[in-house]
Amino acid sequence: MSDKISQELINKVIQQTDIIEIISSYIKLQKKGQNYQAICPFHKDNNPSMVISPAKKFYKCFSCNESGNVIDFVKNYENINFVEAIKKLALKLGLDVGFLKNFNSKPKFSSYQLKLFEINLHASKFFSAVLNNKVGIDAKKYLLSRKISEKEIAYWEIGFSFKESGLKDHLIQVGFKIEEIIDSGILKVFDTNIKDVFVNRLMFPIKNEDGHIIGFSGRVINQNDSPKYLNTFETKIFKKSELAFNFNNAKNEIKRNDEIIILEGFMDVISLNRAEIKNSVAIMGTSLSDFQVDLFKKITKNFVLFLDGDEPGVRAALKAACKLMDLGINVKIIDNDSNLDPDELINKFGAKKIRELIDKSQHPIDFAINYFSRKLDLNDQIGLEQFMKEIKNILIHIRGEIFQAKAISKISKILNLNEDTVRNSIDVRSNALKTEFKKSENFNFKEELPKNNLSNEIKTLKSYRFAEESIIYYLVNNRDKLDYLEDNLNLINNSNNKKLINKIIEIYRVHNLEPGQPEEIKKYLSDESKSAKLINQFDKIINETNYFFLKSVLSNHGLEDSLSILETKKIEDNNKSYLKKMEATSDLALKENYNKIIEKNYIEVIKLRKKREKK
């Protein structure tokens, strides 16, 4: 068989696959005449907006416009690439797709990481067996007392670690080396002895977004034991900043609801899941890392923070909210003033209470005003000053004057003061703020940005255009950075160039094409509808001298430098936008916020330029 995915195979998969059978295995369908209807899984849909036609082998959502054939549905629903979707469906049909092994892109995990996943999987099954043994009777009773049913125990793969269970011997008998088991975090060297890390604890497997077990969290069943929770220590696959309990299960619900609920602990997630709230994850603590934010925002830009209601939880929520607002993410905070965590709230008051709290989640500034007005004595000078300081710290992270104006109006009502007094109080609250802003005004960011004259503008635009074209030229002659380029597509400004890069990557993957064959790439581009513009652009890049001009002004690290130039452009465009906002507002706090962002961006631009110069 050919080592390329032929159009014939693609057509065969589409025509021979029962699209109704496949889609109904993911979502509930309802027959409507000759077609079927469904709640669309790709956006927050309340009424069935998706129509599936068995005759046309096609689906379309009339709300979000998501559409395609059965391959597209599997690809989009499971968040996998085109080749993986074809392979999955072809195997169901019993077609020979052994040749598709050649299409695997660079493995996401090393062979050693996969080995550690395997060890954890065997350990998890072992823990489950122990829980269902007579030595696990007390642990099982404890789970049932926490309202965790047998069905939930199986779903979450909960187990039990017993002191003399023989886990080490079992894993060695399976075929793993002692060094590998230690590296997985299951065993640890204590002095000269090798011992189990988890002893007499309920075991909750923690999985990554792909469903691999990366480690465990062990909970005591004897309240006198400590610590209450013990997590796997840092390993090659278990990083505290990368934990997102239940994300592998919740991805599609998060996408469907276009919202993610962020909790502290896995017990909170288990309880919310029981209440049919299935778009929640636990970050296993209160600190929201950059990795977690990047992971979540791939699916939604709407975050709801549901951390504990004590002061550390509130501080953590506000800190996370400020970080998210700076990134342009819509964020709300649940006002949980009960001093109970979400798991305890559900067990005490039921699912209705949790839903009410979620429905009443607040913008961070509203949350801060409500929380600190309850906590602080606003009739006392020290309490009032602390209140204004806390509010100002949130206000400077808010984009747009409407929310700021609403906040000032709300504060004025709480304090029984007119709005101008409140606004002036916030603006001149700190002499240090005024001094700091005065200093930063002396630093003229406008001078550091390209001067706004025609010749400089043309030169700048040319360098960006050449950077994009050089990336395409590189891609035609190399296929070793497909994933890397895909991850950086957001830097490409020209829509035709972006489409062209996407298409070339797809051609490499689908047709297993070797690099350095522009005519072959052009042939496959010609097969696409509405391809004339792309082919013209492709010919221009391949045949004209633009790339060679660019090559003469770039270092030997052409691809990295090109992406760096485009990243610089994106940052400078942001700075121009913030400069306009700074000039348009008279609000000192806003000016300070914009100025900080510009300064941070400018430092990043300098770093990028220096990095290119060093090469």
Do 487 and 433 lie in one domain? The reply is no
| 78 assigned to some structural domain | yes
Contacts of 120 (CB under 8 A, 6+ apart): 184, 186, 205, 212, 213, 214, 215, 216
pLDDT, tens digit (0-9, with 9 covering 90-100), for 533-577: 788 888 877 775 444 444 443 444 677 888 888 888 888 888 888
Task: Pull the structure tokens for residue 195.
Answer: 């011992």
Do 268 and 346 lie in one domain? The reply is yes
**Residue 159 pLDDT:** 97
**Residue 292 pLDDT:** 94
Do 24 and 86 lie in one domain? The reply is yes
| 176 assigned to some structural domain | yes
| 256 close to 44: Cβ distance less than 8 angstroms | yes
Task: Pull the structure tokens for residue 60.
Answer: 């379309």
Do 388 and 479 lie in one domain? The reply is no
**Residue 105 pLDDT:** 54
- The more confidently predicted of residues 275 and 465 is 275
Do 128 and 169 lie in one domain? The reply is yes
Do 231 and 257 lie in one domain? The reply is no
**Average pLDDT, whole number, for the chain?**
84
Among 305, 333, 362, residue at a domain's last position: 362
Residue 40 sits in a domain whose CATH number is 3.90.580.10
Do 230 and 115 lie in one domain? The reply is yes
Per-position b or e across 185-194, b if 16+ CB within 10 A of its CB: bbbeeeeeee
Contacts of 385 (CB under 8 A, 6+ apart): 429
| 448 assigned to some structural domain | no
| Helix (H) or strand (E) run with residue 121 in it | helix 111-131
Beta pairing, strands 330-333 & 201-207 = unpaired
Among 297, 327, 362, residue at a domain's last position: 362
Do 349 and 420 lie in one domain? The reply is no
| 2 assigned to some structural domain | no
Residue 276 sits in a domain whose CATH number is 3.40.1360.10
Q: Please report which confidence band the pLDDT of residue 355 belongs to, taking 50, 70 and 90 as the band edges.
A: very high
Beta pairing, strands 330-333 & 229-231 = unpaired
Residue 416 sits in a domain whose CATH number is 1.20.50
Q: How far apart are the C-alpha atoms of 217 and 267, rounded to whole Å?
A: 11
Residue 187 sits in a domain whose CATH number is 3.90.980.10
Q: How far apart are the C-alpha atoms of 521 and 143, rounded to whole Å?
A: 59
Do 306 and 411 lie in one domain? The reply is no
Q: How many domains does the chain have?
A: 5
Single-letter residue type at 361: S
Instruction: State the DSSP code for 3.
Output: S
| 130 assigned to some structural domain | yes
Do 299 and 354 lie in one domain? The reply is yes
| 117 close to 237: Cβ distance less than 8 angstroms | yes
| 145 close to 267: Cβ distance less than 8 angstroms | no
pLDDT, tens digit (0-9, with 9 covering 90-100), for 443-495: 333 333 334 444 444 445 567 788 888 888 888 888 888 878 877 888 888 88
**Residue 615 pLDDT:** 54
Instruction: State the DSSP code for 151.
Output: H
Q: Give the number of C-alpha atoms closer than 13 A to the C-alpha of residue 557, restricted to the C-beta side.
A: 10
| 294 assigned to some structural domain | yes
Beta pairing, strands 302-306 & 330-333 = parallel
| 63 assigned to some structural domain | yes
Q: Please report which confidence band the pLDDT of residue 302 belongs to, taking 50, 70 and 90 as the band edges.
A: very high
Do 336 and 389 lie in one domain? The reply is no
| 66 assigned to some structural domain | yes
pLDDT, tens digit (0-9, with 9 covering 90-100), for 110-167: 899 999 999 999 999 999 999 999 999 999 999 999 899 999 999 999 999 998 789 9
What range defines the domain where residue 347 resides? 247-362
Among 362, 395, 416, residue at a domain's last position: 362
**Residue 103 pLDDT:** 59
**Residue 442 pLDDT:** 37
Sheet holding 58-61, edge to edge: 30-32, 35-38, 50-53, 58-61, 67-68
Do 497 and 437 lie in one domain? The reply is no
Q: Please report which confidence band the pLDDT of residue 614 belongs to, taking 50, 70 and 90 as the band edges.
A: low
Q: How far apart are the C-alpha atoms of 355 and 261, rounded to whole Å?
A: 12
Q: Torsions phi, psi of 215, nearest 5?
A: 175, -165
Residue 427 Cα distances to 180, 369, 442, 583, 598, angstroms: 59, 17, 20, 17, 20
With 0-12 / 13-18 / 19 or more C-beta atoms within 10 angstroms meaning exposed / middle / buried, residue 551 is middle
pLDDT, tens digit (0-9, with 9 covering 90-100), for 184-221: 999 998 877 899 999 999 999 999 998 999 999 999 99
**Residue 318 pLDDT:** 95
